[in-house]
Amino acid sequence: MLDNKSIASFAEMRRIVAEFPGPDRDAATTTRAREGQLTKPAGALGRLEELALWLSTWQGKAPPAINHPRVAVFAGNHGVAALGVSAFPAEVTRQMVLNFTHGGAAVNQLCKNADADLRVYEMSLDQPTRDFTQEPALGEVDAARAMAYGMMAVEPGIDLLCLGEMGIANTTAAAALAAALFGGTGTDWAGPGTGVQGAQLSRKAEVIDLGLARHRASFDDPFAIMACLGGHELAAITGAVIAARVARVPVLLDGFASTVAAAVLLKLDPHALDHCVVSHCSAEPGHRKLLEKIAKKPLLDFGMRLGEGSGAALCIPILRAAALCHSGMATFAEAGVSDKG
């Protein structure tokens, strides 16, 4: 297990990423061999077969299983919310956290459907990040601490981690992160988020461009980009992805914000997200662009843009089906069914 108290620095985070474990090739070999013996034509279950292999490879066991999935939702507030980039005020973040706690949000229902554990992590809601058009949203120490806090979501016993977020104005921060990491302007990456359009959407793109201009000198360091333009909840997601890799827990990412928080790691290691699958393509236009940049194919495209881990929770039954089909199907020999000649 990682000692989260001792790793709250970017240098230590970089060291952990540099020492990431790779895929478990023995588990993958065993899974491929069994897959070829199951009572179906080769490839007949399509992407379910790919997902079973992916689960086995990153859980490090064959056959794979999903018995204890966790949905982790990180909530944080953003200083740029005061600049008119969202259709809702910043206090909605806390109100939605209470809604999660009382079981009234969409993600609560989706977790019930998936028989998944839901954990909600409040992150300094009374202390929003600073306005990134004027100064870094977070200092290095605060950003690293948020990453270390996110690592706490990876507790012993869970076998799938789903990552979501809640935070008014966090699509502005996410779009700024995407532009800093992969190039482009506020107009290229800004989307409606909570429902802004027209002049308010233009204002959102302008705020992103102001942030990019302010912090361009830091763009050679992905963790510095997170500190300058991100947020507590986004940094926590980055940390959770790191801890999941070390603990061999496969990850389901939710929408635009959680995906870009994870994508920070690609600038350190092109294989840093091999243990992650993107659950769905958000209706937020920047998400589709981002998925092309990081070469990830989402499981679903349902036009969702809610956040709060909803798309990831919705996909847990799909991954469970992949694992059960692989582990529960009979082989040709077991079933007494003739294989192809």
Quote the CA–CA distance of 52 and 278 in Å, as a whole number: 15
d(CA 230, CA 55): 30
State both tokens at 270.
Answer: 């092109």
User: Cβ atoms within 10 A of the Cβ of 214, count?
Assistant: 17
Short-list 145, 283, 280, CA closest to 226: 145
Residue whose entry in the numeric block shows the structure tokens 């769905």:
280
Task: Please give the structure tokens belonging to residue 38.
Answer: 């199951």
* Cα 265 from Cα 255, distance rounded (Å): 17
Is-contact 143 235, C-beta < 8 A? yes
Q: Which of 165, 233, 308, 334 is catalytic?
A: 308
Q: Quote the tokens at residue 59.
A: 């859980």
Q: What does the H/E/C string look like for 64-98?
A: CCCCCEEEEEEECCCHHHHHCCCCCCCHHHHHHHH
Q: 2, 62, 4: which is closest to 28 by C-alpha? A: 62
CA distance 110 to 71: 10
Distance CA 97, CA 100 (A): 5
User: Is 155 among the residues known to form the active site?
Assistant: no
280-312 in b/e burial notation, b at 16+ Cβ within 10 A?
A: bbbbbbbbbbbbebbebebbeeeebbbbbbbbb
- Active-site positions read 308
